[in-house]
Structure 1
Amino acid sequence: MADQYGDSTRSVKSVGAEPLPGSPIGPVPIPAAAYHLPPDEDAALDSYGRASNPTWRQLESALAQLEGAAHAVTFGSGMAALTAVLRIFAEPGRRVVVPADGYYQVRAYARDYLAPRGVDVVEARCDQMCEAARDADVVLAETPSNPGLDVVDLHHLAMTCRARNALLVVDNTTATPLGQQPLSLGADLVVASATKTLAGHHDVLAGYVAGSQPELIDRVRRERLLAGPILGAFEAWLVLRSLGSVGLRFERQCQNAAAVAVMLSTHPAVRSVRYPGLPTDPSHPVASMQMRRFGGIVAVELGSAAAVHDLVRRSALLVAATSFGGIHSSVDRRARWGDPVPDGFARISLGIEDTDDLLNDLADALAPA
């Protein structure tokens, strides 16, 4: 895809179909479990729904284009994609680094399923990743981290992994491929939840693995075939439908997040704010080198759990929800899920509402505090 195109143009072109007269402009779902088989038993055609699907392939082509990858493999959720990679490459006897300050379910999976198989699991914060990678076989990094929004220096981490011949996998869910492209910084594989910003409407679960090394992607595809954590054809179509507008949506979400981060950073009711786009944020120097946009999430600490609940109750625009990246702005108090954060810590996911409306609504909701 031409490098000169902007994000919205890239997004629209990635989901386009061949301009055949009489054919639909947009993608269509093909929900088939079985297909007519040809007499030639060696023909490479669709045969069974767990093995292949035309709608998957169109979505995988679009995701690969956005990630700057040669290939992508879709899964039924982001966790299905991530755990598939860990099952394949985190073999018994190997040392695997997982984020200590990232999505908590990843640590739970590593403790409950990898460690009992004889995998040496090491938990490392973003600022510890490069040091931990010096003795690792597989490194899973999440940047910006969810929910703390700390940032890993991906180029430095990739060089460290390469020196040891360790596999570097980067969770790109928070940044999205429109915010950063880890493969161009040296990552071997990207994993992500398409449920969030890419699908963007809180109506579908999906995940994917992307990369450019055929031997790695072939192993991921075989794992999907054998284990069966597939994405339904209709769900794949929903993500495809949404990808066409992700450039516009993400641009507004980033604009809203930047404005909200600035506003909250000086508010007397707010104890702290994390957003990689703030010049005062400790992650900003690294983030500004490797990210094109800083994302639509702001991490904020209020005085207590009650203060977070009061914020949502008084707001006319913020909804309480545990996902992020949708068109509606939402708040999630992360301590309720077991994240190692203060009780008043909240992840604010900015939607596509008008920026001034969000700022005025937040000011009114925080005023009593």
Structure 2
Amino acid sequence: MDGRYGDSTRSVKAVGSEPVPGSPVAPPPVPASTFHLSPDESESLDKYGRYSNPTWRQLESALAELEGAAAALTFGSGMAAITSVLRVLAKPGHTLVVPGDGYNQVRRYAREYLAPQGVTVVEAASAEMCHAASDAHVVLAETPANPGLDVVDLHRLAMDCRRRGSTLVVDNTTATPLGQQPLSLGADLVVASATKALSGHSDVIAGYVAGSHPELMAAVEQDRLLAGPILGVFEAWLVLRSLGSAGLRFERQCHNAQALAVMLRNHPAVKSVRYPGLPDDPSHQIAMLQMKKFGGLVAIELENAQAVHTMVERSALLVASTSFGGIHTSVDRRARWGDPVGDGFARISAGIEDTDDLIADFEHALA
């Protein structure tokens, strides 16, 4: 990572192509399933579309640069990236720690697929992650955790894992590489959904793995080759096309989230607010140490489910949808998906609307 530049400059430079005269500034996608082979049967860079593709490589280079990694691998979704890493690392007889307050599909995969194969699965809240990881072979941390936004002390956890010889994988989806650099804090691998803030337009599903350990990355690449959870070329191109504006979008999303959190914590209709950027948030001190930006998500608790629905109905700007990181501010009542939260719990994903308009809209919606 080049410390000379800000996030928007880093985002633009990451997706830039070589300045060859006559070549396009924005390279087009390469939708090929097969490539010409060498007559002498020597190894060529591209042979078959499940193995590699020039568009993948450009996106992977950009993601690796943003994460501060030696390499990155793209996948068809964030879950495809996570499950590939877990298949490689979590073997029968191993103990795997997963977030008890993180993305619920990860827990389901660990319970329903890995546990029957002989992997001991431990679910730990983010606040207890360091303690729970004491006997683990593999630790998967998500920070800030989705949807409650607790922050894991990554430096401490990484040192504990290194001392025990455990492998630490960090889900960097909520923070993005523009908000947090887990590899620089000691993580072995980063996994993330590029569906969210990095692509940012609610029109593509993608994921990636990033790291600097050649043997780990080679094992994950081999799993992708054999299992086939690849990213489509046009989807890769869409992510790459969006990545150049990620710094600009994420900065506005974080600014809007901070402003919303401050406004909502003082509103009588709101029972509680979680946002790592609030000075009195339980995770603020740790977040200050390891996060450059506090992210675009705000978690609030309203009276009940109907209060959440009424807020959305009265709003002119809010979109009721799951996922997050898009340009529109969205609200997701997470209890409907089975998360262990109250009926009035809502995850707000701040968009890129003008801050004053967004604050006024929430004030009207909650009046």
TM band (smaller chain): over 0.9
Query: Deviations along 1:23-59, whole A, 9 cap, x unmatched?
Result: 1101310010001101232233200000000000000
Q: What's the secondary structure of 1:323's corresponding residue?
A: coil
In structure 1, how many angstroms separate the alpha carbons of the residues matched to 2:191 and 2:98? 13
Give CA deviations for 1:223-270 in whole Å, capped at 9, x if unaligned: 000000000110000000000000000000000000000000010000
- 1:104 corresponds in structure 2 to 104
**Corresponding residue number in structure 2 for 1:68:** 68
Partner of 2:3: 3
Structure 1 residue aligned with 2:278? 278
Aligned to 1:216: 216
The corresponding residue for 2:153 is 153
Match of 2:299 in 1: 299
Instruction: Quote how far apart the aligned CAs of 1:282 are.
Output: 0.4
Q: Residues 284-322 of structure 1, C-alpha deviation per residue, up to 9 Å, x if partnerless?
A: 000000000000000000000000000000000001000
Match of 1:45 in 2: 45
Q: What's the RMSD between the two structures over aligned residues?
A: 0.6
CA contact (8 A) 1:78 1:194 kept: yes
Following the alignment from structure 1 to structure 2, what is the Cα–Cα distance between the partners of residues 146 and 340? 11
User: Partner of 1:362 in structure 2?
Assistant: 362
Q: CA contact under 8 A between 2:190 and 2:211: conserved in structure 1?
A: yes
Aligned to 2:77: 77
Mapped to 2, the partners of 1:193 and 1:158 lie a distance apart of: 22
In 1, Cα distance between the equivalents of 2:245 and 2:90? 36
Give deviations 1:172-192, integer Å, cap 9, x for gaps. 000000000000000000000
CA distance in 1, matches of 2:78, 2:206: 6
Instruction: Using the TM superposition, give the Cα deviation of residue 122 of structure 1 relative to its aligned residue in structure 2, in angstroms.
Output: 0.1
Task: Say whether the 8 Å CA contact 2:270–2:303 is kept in structure 1.
Answer: yes
| TM-score under structure 2 length normalisation | 0.99
> 1:183 and 2:183 equivalent?
yes
Q: Secondary structure at the match of 2:220?
A: helix
Determine if the alignment matches structure 1 residue 126 to structure 2 residue 126: yes
Local SS of the residue matching 1:342: coil
- Counting only pairs closer than 5 Å after superposition, residues 133-282 of structure 1 correspond to structure 2 as 133-282=133-282
The secondary structure found in structure 1 opposite 2:34 is coil
CA contact (8 A) 2:37 2:44 kept: no
1:55 corresponds in structure 2 to: 55
Find the aligned partners of 1:353 and 1:8 in 2 and give their Cα distance: 18
The question of whether the paired residues in 1 share the 8 Å contact of 2:55 and 2:233 is answered with yes
- Compute the displacement of 1:19 (Å): 1.2
**Runs of 4+ that moved beyond 6 A:** none
Secondary structure of residue in 1 paired with 2:98: strand
Q: Is residue 2:20 matched to residue 1:24?
A: no
Matched position secondary structure for 1:248: helix
**Match of 2:88?**
88
Q: What SS does the aligned partner of 2:59 have?
A: helix
Q: Distance in 1 between matches of 2:176 and 2:106?
A: 18
- The answer to whether the Cα contact below 8 Å between 2:99 and 2:126 also exists between their aligned partners in 1 is yes
Aligned partners of 2:227 and 2:204: how far apart in 1?
21
- Alignment gaps of 5+ in structure 1: none
Whether 2:325 is the aligned partner of 1:325: answer: yes
User: Conserved in 2, the CA contact under 8 Å of 1:316 and 1:361?
Assistant: yes
Matched positions, count: 367
Q: Residue 27 of structure 1 contacts residue 240 of structure 1 at CA under 8 Å; is this kept in 2?
A: no
Distance in 2 (alpha carbons) for counterparts of 1:208 and 1:197: 13
| Aligned mates of 2:15, 2:45 — CA distance in 1 | 22
Read off the aligned partner of 1:302 and give its amino acid letter: L
Whether contact under 8 Å (1:110, 1:121) holds in the other structure is yes
2:117 matched to which residue of 1?
Answer: 117
CA offset at residue 22 of structure 1?
1.7
Contact 2:38-2:44 at 8 Å conserved across structures: no
Letter in 1 for 2:216: L
| % same residue | 75
